[in-house]
């Protein structure tokens, strides 16, 4: 009888292993939105590199392989190397968008990318981050002052949706006269290289980006005439003046990279951090005890929330073998470090939020030469907002369980996030 049971178990495991991968993993399903961990672990068990037909992409599942790929940079980061990308236009037909995308600091050749990271490091120093926080803080105070003390409010609509724009405009030092024109780009910039959008929508975003880059050029010209001390853009322009290989287009594309990394990502981080802390209120004092403590807490919030869908896009620069699989030139390879975040072998009691959990290494913002250089800025503005929120509303609580939205291409989000303030008159 024992053998029969064992045979049945083996049969079930064999059947699961041969089940079409799209049946065990569907990031756009309601099941994924409510329990992503189960699907992610099922995909990771399929192997180190798994082909996913709905996306016509390979998925890299193992964290050590992903870290090695980041470190060795043997895959391309250039969107135009994708097999389904629009044709790379000749240089005499480039507009602003093409100059940014083709000459982009983050997808340029590896040597230039490393040069950019080295020379711009002063623009991301603690002093500059502190200065950016000083500039952002009054705007966040105004946001909460305008909100007042309602009995309940939707955190996403009233707060979270405003933070990316506040952060980016203050960081760059964008004058208010340009805000109305550039806001749509900040909200939609990541769509420009999203593999799933229509060509009509891509062209619409392209035109928005062309105008936004014109605005950035105007702001740069103004800042050259009137540089500021400890201002991010002024520091960047000073670096440009001292490094012949670092040009104004590197400045522009680095700003666009921060816009791309900061818009949608910041919105997701805002809502999930509030949700995680309100579901685990005992963790709030430790999480907000210092900016350093919050940095670790945010990595844990990101792990616990399991909100990621797609991961980091790379492209095969030639026909090649990757982790034992034959990969064709131009194929998309997605690095997906979130797949194992609910693996109990790596994270004991994965369903428990523990803001003191240790991460060694912490790869939330990448690793090696592709580590996100804006990570400190992103975590600081989030820490500032959370601190202000819980200072204003120390008895804040969720007003019911929020409905999850599975339609976002990159993350699981909430349709709304209603909270009760419990403010006593």
Instruction: Kindly report, residue by residue over 207-224, the tens digit of the pLDDT.
Output: 888 888 888 898 899 889
Tens digit of each residue's pLDDT (9 = 90 or more) over 44-80: 999 999 999 999 999 999 999 999 999 898 999 888 8
**Residue 191 banded pLDDT, cuts 50, 70, 90:** low
Select from 272, 279, 266, 265 the least CA-distant residue to 414: 272
Please report where in the chains the tokens 């599975």 appear, as a residue: 406
* Structural tokens at position 212: 């936004």
pLDDT at 304: 95
**15 has pLDDT over 60:** no
Answer whether residue 56 is part of any domain. yes
Under DSSP, the state recorded for 397 is: E
Residue at 64 is within a domain: yes
Does a structural domain hold residue 19?
no
**Tens-place pLDDT, residues 219-266:** 899 889 888 766 678 888 888 999 888 888 888 888 877 766 666 677
pLDDT of 109 above 70: no
Contact 309, 411 (CB under 8 A): yes
pTM, two decimals, is: 0.85
Query: What is the model's pLDDT at position 39?
Result: 95
Task: Tell me the C-alpha to C-alpha distance, in Å, between residue 10 and each of 43, 318, 406.
Answer: 18, 39, 34
> Is the dihedral angle over the CA atoms 244, 117, 411, 271 positive or is it negative?
negative
CA distance 117 to 273: 29
**pLDDT tens digits, one per residue of 121-175:** 777 777 777 877 888 899 999 999 999 999 999 999 999 988 877 877 777 777 7
Band of residue 370 on the pLDDT scale cut at 50, 70, 90: low
Distance CA 253, CA 232 (A): 14
Residue 425 in any domain: the answer is no
Range of the domain at 269: 44-420
Q: Are 306 and 338 in contact (CB under 8 A)?
A: yes
| E runs forming strands in 138-218 | 152-154
Residue 18 falls within a domain, yes or no? no
- Rounded to whole angstroms, the Cα distance separating 167 from 201 reads 26
> 212 CB contacts (<8 Å, ≥6 apart)?
181, 182, 185, 189, 256
H or E, element range at 222? helix 199-225
Structural domains counted in the chain: 1
Q: Is 20 within a domain?
A: no
Task: Decide if pLDDT at 391 tops 70.
Answer: yes
User: Which residues, 6 or more positions from 101, have their beta carbon under 8 angstroms from its beta carbon?
Assistant: 79, 80, 107, 192, 193
Does a structural domain hold residue 240? yes
Segment holding 115, helix H or strand E = helix 110-120
Q: Which CATH number goes with the domain that contains 101? A: 1.10.630.10
Q: How do strand 332-335 and strand 57-60 relate by DSSP bridges?
A: parallel
| Among candidate residues 212, 271, 232, 211, the one with its CA nearest the CA of residue 405 | 271
Burial environment of residue 327 by CB neighbours within 10 A (0 to 12, 13 to 18, 19 or more): buried
Query: What whole-number distance in Å separates Cα of residue 48 and Cα of residue 63?
Result: 9
């Amino acid at each position: 009888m024992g053998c029969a049971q064992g045979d049945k178990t083996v049969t079930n495991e064999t059947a699961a292993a041969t089940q079409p991968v799209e049946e065990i993993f569907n990031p756009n399903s309601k099941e994924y939105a409510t329990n992503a961990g189960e699907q992610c672990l099922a995909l990771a068990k399929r192997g180190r590199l798994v082909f996913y037909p709905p996306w016509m992409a390979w998925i890299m599942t193992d964290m050590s392989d992903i870290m090695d790929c980041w470190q060795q940079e043997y895959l391309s980061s250039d969107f135009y190397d994708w097999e389904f990308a629009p044709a790379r236009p000749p240089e005499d037909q480039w507009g602003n968008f093409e100059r940014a995308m083709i000459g982009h600091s983050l997808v340029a050749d590896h040597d230039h990318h490393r040069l950019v990271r080295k020379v711009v490091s002063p623009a991301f120093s603690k002093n500059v981050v502190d200065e950016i926080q000083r500039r952002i803080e009054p705007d966040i105070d105004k946001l909460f002052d305008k909100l007042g003390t309602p009995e309940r409010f939707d955190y996403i609509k009233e707060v979270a949706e405003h933070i990316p724009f506040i952060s980016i405009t203050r960081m760059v030092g964008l004058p208010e006269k340009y805000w109305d024109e550039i806001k749509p780009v900040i909200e939609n910039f990541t769509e420009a290289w999203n593999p799933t959008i229509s060509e009509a929508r891509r062209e619409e975003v392209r035109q928005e980006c062309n105008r936004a880059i014109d605005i950035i050029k105007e702001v740069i010209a103004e800042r050259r005439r009137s540089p500021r001390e400890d201002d991010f853009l002024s520091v960047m322009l000073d670096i440009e003046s001292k490094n012949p290989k670092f040009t104004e287009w590197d400045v522009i594309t680095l700003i666009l990279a921060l816009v791309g990394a900061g818009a949608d990502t910041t919105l997701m981080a805002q809502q999930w951090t509030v949700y995680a802390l309100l579901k685990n209120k005992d963790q709030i004092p430790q999480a907000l005890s210092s900016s350093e403590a919050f940095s670790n807490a945010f990595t844990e919030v990101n792990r616990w929330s399991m909100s990621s869908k797609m991961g980091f896009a790379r492209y095969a620069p030639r026909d090649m073998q990757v982790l034992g699989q034959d990969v064709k030139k131009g194929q998309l390879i997605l690095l997906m470090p979130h797949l194992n975040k609910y693996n109990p072998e790596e994270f004991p009691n994965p369903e428990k939020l523990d803001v003191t959990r240790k991460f060694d290494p912490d790869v939330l913002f990448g690793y090696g030469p592709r580590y996100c250089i804006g990570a400190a800025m992103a975590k600081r503005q989030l820490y500032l907002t959370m601190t202000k929120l819980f200072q204003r509303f120390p008895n804040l609580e969720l007003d019911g369980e929020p409905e999850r939205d599975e339609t976002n291409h990159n993350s699981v989000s909430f349709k709304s996030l209603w909270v009760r303030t419990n403010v006593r008159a």
